[in-house]
């Protein structure tokens, strides 16, 4: 009997040991990983890069000092370029629209931008327009330039693949007197126009670019009436603000530029495929009516508020997928409130509708879904200012990615300037049903954790989702971070904590249903953990929710 009891005890201990060693409690990682997985390492660089922000450390930056990025794949690398912005302005004077490149979207190295000095055509174009308006020229040395928000695409011109970049140069001088934009110099006028130029390269690694000059500029429907009653007047002289370009080639081979920021909305301008310049003559950048102006400078395809001349929407980004043009945009101020929305249309000219059917082209109100928004998981400061995105497809895959800057909140670690720390965020997009009854009506939502190239370790099982999660109801909350609360998915299919009711899971589609909201489940890295490790995350929405669900499983 004693031998039998001893045998049973040994057997029980062996079974328990096998159950612990043989598979992990949450099935996040498999026990026997393929040899290819030996290349997978979790990023260890710090989110607060202030200690290496200096120009001399640029080869250590990885995704540090990124603002308004745009990404294109070319000859084995993903090239990224963005706005001239860096913590402490460390990059000032070292070339404009500096970039980075990567082979895996995780590890990035610095590359030079297209030019160091302002292209001469900008001052020439500005003063030519001023002359025709009856205004004195601004001396070139007195022009205040800003270098903002390029877009880069790989295109085929004459059988050769090239990178084509459209970039914004803003002139920050008053129209009336030409003086620099300061409160002391205010002269009762608006500030000068912005310009969009274009350059091309077949050697971006060597920072060799050929500038092609003027494409378009800010344009007004108010003729020569550029007066401004006061600095608190936001009624805007310009109808179209020529910044934040995005560029698309349609399935029919037509080329379009979309641009606009904060003024009356987004302009759609058709381009010549070969030259990359406007297909039709633009004429003077001012007219006596909106209809006269838009007939030349582009049709308005979207506006946050139809009646507003100064609205918190900018940074259009457009992609085409499965019969729809998806138009992403940034809402609100860029320091903390920045958040991303998306609308879509079957026609490049619109109308663009949101998930509920709101018409963004006619300006019928705030649009949903929310793609990103300021947020905070536990054990971290979280992120704010997450918008002005680029969206791109990973080469030779069906995976789509969202990239933007993320800013640290104010006063992180006692640093009064921590909100100027801008880390590049690469996130996978998941395509989520608009509702449980519309499984094929899919909308793009960014995952709550940044991309780390976690290998595909196979099926995510229902049992592996049981446990405690950090759940964020990612709702529109101006200037505030949406925080996380505990959500427990019980083995019996019920939920408790942040949500109550029932949950279910479709392992084939990797779709988790939380009440009446369907979210998509993936493996990603828990960037807030110490040390960082792989976990499960989810993202999704419901067309009447006016919010997005984000979550990650706690280890």
At 7, the pLDDT band (50, 70, 90 cuts) reads very low
Region 539-554: mean pLDDT is: 98
Q: What is the pLDDT of residue 12?
A: 42
Task: Decide if 34 is inside a domain.
Answer: no
Task: Decide if 4 is inside a domain.
Answer: no
Q: What is the pLDDT of residue 32?
A: 62
Task: Decide if 11 is inside a domain.
Answer: no
Are residue 458 and residue 377 in the same domain, yes or no?
Answer: no
Are residue 246 and residue 170 in the same domain, yes or no?
Answer: yes
Last residue of a domain, one of 446, 476, 499: 446
431-448 pLDDT, tens digit per residue, is 999 999 999 999 999 999
Are residue 220 and residue 173 in the same domain, yes or no?
Answer: yes
Q: What is the pLDDT of residue 31?
A: 67
Task: Decide if 536 is inside a domain.
Answer: yes
Task: Decide if 39 is inside a domain.
Answer: no
Tokens representing 176? 């009336």
Q: What is the pLDDT of residue 28?
A: 87
| pTM confidence score | 0.94
Are residue 435 and residue 483 in the same domain, yes or no?
Answer: no
Are residue 441 and residue 463 in the same domain, yes or no?
Answer: no
DSSP state of 189: B
Give CA–CA dist 464/491, Å, rounded: 10
Q: What is the pLDDT of residue 39?
A: 81
Are residue 173 and residue 292 in the same domain, yes or no?
Answer: yes
Q: What is the pLDDT of residue 409?
A: 98
Give CA–CA dist 458/507, Å, rounded: 10
Are residue 434 and residue 459 in the same domain, yes or no?
Answer: no
C-alpha to C-alpha distances, 479 to 310, 339, 384, 424, 475, nearest whole angstrom: 18, 9, 8, 20, 12
C-alpha to C-alpha distances, 246 to 200, 303, 407, nearest whole angstrom: 15, 16, 22
Are residue 512 and residue 371 in the same domain, yes or no?
Answer: no
Concatenate the DSSP letters of all residues of 377-442 into one string.
-TTS--BEEEEEEEEEEPTTSS-EEEEEEEE--TTGGG-TTGGG-EEEEEEEEEEEEEETTEEEEE
Task: Decide if 33 is inside a domain.
Answer: no
Are residue 76 and residue 219 in the same domain, yes or no?
Answer: yes
The CATH number of the domain holding residue 79 is 2.115.10.20
Task: Decide if 205 is inside a domain.
Answer: yes
Are residue 389 and residue 481 in the same domain, yes or no?
Answer: no
Last residue of a domain, one of 412, 430, 446: 446
Task: Decide if 41 is inside a domain.
Answer: no
Domain coverage including residue 486:
454-553
Q: What is the pLDDT of residue 223?
A: 98
Last residue of a domain, one of 398, 423, 446: 446
- Torsion, Cα of 347, 350, 352, 353 (10° steps): -80
Count structural domains, the chain: 2
Are residue 111 and residue 258 in the same domain, yes or no?
Answer: yes
At 26, the pLDDT band (50, 70, 90 cuts) reads low
Are residue 260 and residue 369 in the same domain, yes or no?
Answer: yes
The CATH number of the domain holding residue 514 is 2.40.128.10
């Amino acid at each position: 009997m004693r031998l039998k009891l001893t045998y049973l005890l040994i057997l029980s201990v062996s079974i328990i040991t096998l159950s612990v060693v043989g598979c992990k409690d949450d099935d996040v990682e498999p026990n026997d990983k393929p040899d290819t997985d030996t290349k997978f390492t979790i990023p260890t660089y710090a989110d607060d890069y202030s200690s290496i922000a200096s120009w001399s450390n640029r080869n250590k930056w990885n995704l540090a000092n990124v603002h308004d990025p745009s990404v294109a794949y070319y000859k084995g690398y993903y090239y990224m370029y963005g706005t001239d912005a860096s913590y402490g302005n460390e990059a000032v004077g070292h070339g404009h629209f500096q970039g980075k490149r990567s082979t895996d979207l995780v590890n990035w190295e610095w590359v030079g931008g297209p030019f160091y000095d302002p292209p001469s055509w900008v001052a020439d174009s500005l003063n030519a327009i001023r002359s025709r308006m009856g205004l004195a020229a601004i001396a070139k040395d007195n022009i205040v330039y800003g270098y903002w928000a390029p877009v880069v695409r790989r295109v085929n011109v004459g059988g050769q693949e090239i990178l084509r970049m459209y970039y914004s140069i803003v002139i920050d001088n008053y129209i009336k007197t030409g003086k620099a934009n300061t409160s002391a110099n205010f002269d009762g006028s608006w500030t000068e126009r912005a310009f969009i130029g274009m350059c091309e390269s077949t050697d971006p690694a060597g920072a060799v670019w050929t500038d092609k000059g003027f494409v378009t500029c800010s344009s007004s429907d108010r003729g020569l009436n550029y007066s401004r009653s006061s600095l608190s007047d936001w009624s805007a002289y310009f109808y179209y603000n020529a910044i934040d370009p995005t560029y698309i080639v349609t399935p029919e081979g037509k080329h379009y530029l979309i641009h606009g920021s904060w003024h009356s909305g987004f302009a759609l301008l058709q381009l010549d495929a070969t030259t990359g310049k406007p297909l039709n003559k633009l004429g003077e950048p001012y007219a006596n009516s909106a209809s006269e102006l838009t007939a030349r400078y582009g049709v308005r395809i979207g506006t946050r508020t139809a009646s507003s001349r100064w609205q918190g929407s900018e940074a259009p980004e457009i992609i085409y997928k499965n019969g729809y043009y998806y138009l992403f945009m940034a809402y609100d101020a860029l320091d903390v409130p920045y958040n991303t929305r998306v609308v879509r249309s079957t026609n490049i000219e619109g109308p663009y509708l949101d998930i509920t059917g709101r018409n963004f082209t006619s300006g019928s109100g705030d649009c949903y879904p929310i793609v990103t928004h300021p947020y905070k998981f536990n054990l971290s400061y979280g992120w704010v200012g997450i918008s002005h995105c680029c969206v791109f497809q990973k080469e030779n895959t069906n995976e789509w990615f969202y990239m933007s800057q993320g800013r640290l909140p104010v006063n992180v670690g006692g640093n009064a300037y921590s909100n100027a720390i801008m880390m590049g965020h690469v996130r996978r997009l998941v395509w989520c049903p608009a509702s449980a009854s519309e499984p094929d009506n899919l909308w793009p939502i960014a995952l709550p954790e940044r991309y780390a190239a976690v290998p595909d370790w196979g099926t995510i099982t229902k049992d592996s989702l049981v446990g405690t999660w950090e759940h964020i109801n990612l709702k529109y909350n101006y200037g505030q971070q949406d925080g996380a609360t505990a959500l427990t998915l019980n083995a019996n299919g019920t939920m408790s904590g942040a949500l109550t009711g029932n949950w279910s899971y479709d392992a084939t589609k990797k779709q988790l249903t939380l009440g009446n909201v369907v979210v998509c489940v993936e493996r990603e890295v828990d960037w807030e953990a110490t040390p960082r490790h792989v976990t499960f995350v989810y993202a999704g929405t419901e067309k009447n929710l006016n919010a997005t669900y984000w979550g990650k499983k706690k280890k």
